[in-house]
Structure 1
Amino acid sequence: MIGEPEFDGAGETRPAQSAEQAEEPPSRGREAAGAGAPRPWPWALGGAVLASAVWAGGLYALGDRLAAPEVSYRATRNLCLDFEARALSRIAGDLHRYRPVHRENEHPAVRGAGCALQNGESVSTLTVRAQVDLHRKTDPGPEFDAPSAAWTFTETGGGRVEEVRGLGERALLLVGPADMWVELKVLHGGAVFTVVATGTGSERNTPADTAALRSAMVEDTRELMAVLKK
């Protein structure tokens, strides 16, 4: 609101102040307002810097953990050609004679290839399945010890797990009940090799020396790893 003009001692008039201007303290000018603005506390600034550093460090550690694993093996075009299974064939007869079956799976996360072999046409006494999985995104190491579905099914029937030394980074031999089912798993970087041998259950037809069967599986897997090595 504008008031009436005021007279000073010299007889000159000066504009009247508004009510708001009259009530404003003299110290509240533009500079005074800037000088009186609250400043951030030093501990608040330090906390923000510390939080940023911790977040950056955690992000770096997470990125390192999630980094793609090193894969030092090439992808196979036909695993049945690369997996010759010569040691197993010496035990149970030529495993490549009867219609080898090759399968492969191309995925951005895992490049998989499989091969199924048997030593008979309509009736076989030994079936062998080989699998190679090349993990491109995440490290398979933390899950390597997880049992396969077949092992979980037979675990209550007296199976056992044995560690195989000198093969890849880690290697496990899973033996089913009555030694009729054997699985060899090998971990090396981002690559996982699996060979499974299954018998028919007939004492006459099944390889009598189970130790020889396991030894042949290790030998053939080692040879396959050498063939696929980059």
Structure 2
Amino acid sequence: MRALMAALGNRNPGGTVVITDPELGEEWKTEPMEQASAPSGSAREPTAGGPGPRPWKWALGGAVVASAVWAGGLYAVGGPPGDPEIAYRASKNLCEDFAARTLGGIAGDLHKLRPVNHESSNRAVDGAVCSLSNIEGAQDFSVTARVDLHKKADPSVEFDAPPLGLMANVGAVHTEAVPGLGERAAMIGSAGDQFMRLKAVDGGAEFSIEVSAFTFGERHGRPATDADAVKAAMAEDLRELIAALRK
């Protein structure tokens, strides 16, 4: 009974019952193996000074009760969790949804060349990628937007994981939080800020914009700019993309 009351009372903040080990008191005893395996129906009376009633029967009964309590706890909270709710729609053409309006004010019309667009879907993630550039066949200013809708897991759990793939390509990176953009957002930049990634997570979706700039000086008729202006433009364009895909 004490184990049952402990199981009923020991709940985590989410309401799920946590089963604890039964208390091991003086009465918890076991019989030798040959006694425990005696044929059924051969009841034996306890001898003087011998072991008392078989406590392992009580333990088996307690386990059954505990299992029932566990099942009841799951039923009380609605059973095993289903697929998470996603607050955003899947993009059928991200280059149409991603206007890049503010970044285009810095680098020139990013949609004047043929945008490169890809989508994918499986049971876990619906993904979409759009790649844009302002110069044909030249390394000047390229932008990649990406959206992943996580249908089976919460993407915020891995939000702080280090970007090892990015670090392998550009070396050391620095990260700073970006307030007021989704549930959480962060700007990741390489040395010299020639490569920057802004990522945000919100409503079961992960969004990102990457900018690769050959130089922040004047180039191909584009006026000189600075990294802070690009970061501000990335934040504004990502905010518009998040609003465009919200259900």
Sort the TM-score into its range (normalised by shorter chain): 0.7 to 0.9
For 1:213, the aligned partner's letter is V
* TM-score normalised by L of structure 2: 0.69
Alpha carbons 2:216, 2:225 under 8 Å: kept = no
| Pair 1:192-2:192 in alignment | no
Tell me how far apart the structure 1 counterparts of residues 227 and 165 of structure 2 sit (CA, whole Å).
19
Q: CA deviation at 1:133?
A: 0.4
For 2:64, the aligned partner's letter is A
Alpha carbons 1:68, 1:139 under 8 Å: kept = no
Unaligned runs of 5+ in 1: 1-32
Tell me how far apart the structure 2 counterparts of residues 181 and 99 of structure 1 sit (CA, whole Å).
22
Tell me how far apart the structure 2 counterparts of residues 34 and 122 of structure 1 sit (CA, whole Å).
89
Match of 2:85 among 40, 49, 70: 70
| Pair 1:123-2:138 in alignment | yes
Tell me how far apart the structure 1 counterparts of residues 117 and 176 of structure 2 sit (CA, whole Å).
28
Tell me how far apart the structure 2 counterparts of residues 124 and 78 of structure 1 sit (CA, whole Å).
25
Q: Please name the residue that 1:212 is paired with.
A: 229
The Cα RMSD (Å) is: 3.0
Q: Please name the residue that 1:13 is paired with.
A: none
Q: Please name the residue that 1:170 is paired with.
A: 184
Tell me how far apart the structure 2 counterparts of residues 37 and 74 of structure 1 sit (CA, whole Å).
70
Q: CA deviation at 1:143?
A: 1.2
Q: Please name the residue that 1:53 is paired with.
A: 69
Alpha carbons 1:126, 1:198 under 8 Å: kept = yes
Tell me how far apart the structure 2 counterparts of residues 35 and 150 of structure 1 sit (CA, whole Å).
69
Greater mean alpha carbon deviation, residues 195-204 or residues 173-182? 195-204
Q: CA deviation at 1:56?
A: 6.7
For 1:98, the aligned partner's letter is L
Match of 2:118 among 103, 106, 119: 103
Q: Please name the residue that 2:10 is paired with.
A: none
Structure with the greater alpha carbon radius of gyration: 1
TM-aligned CA distance change 1:106 to 1:93, over 3 Å: same
Tell me how far apart the structure 1 counterparts of residues 157 and 167 of structure 2 sit (CA, whole Å).
18
For 1:108, the aligned partner's letter is R
TM-aligned CA distance change 1:49 to 1:37, over 3 Å: farther
Match of 1:113 among 128, 131, 139: 128
Alpha carbons 1:180, 1:199 under 8 Å: kept = yes
For 1:203, the aligned partner's letter is G
Unaligned runs of 5+ in 2: 1-39, 46-52
For 1:43, the aligned partner's letter is W
For 1:225, the aligned partner's letter is I
| Pair 1:141-2:153 in alignment | no
Alpha carbons 1:110, 1:135 under 8 Å: kept = yes
Alpha carbons 1:69, 1:189 under 8 Å: kept = no
Alpha carbons 2:149, 2:205 under 8 Å: kept = yes
Q: Matched residues, percent identical?
A: 40
Q: Please name the residue that 1:151 is paired with.
A: 166
Q: CA deviation at 1:209?
A: 1.5
Q: CA deviation at 1:155?
A: 6.8
Tell me how far apart the structure 2 counterparts of residues 198 and 34 of structure 1 sit (CA, whole Å).
81
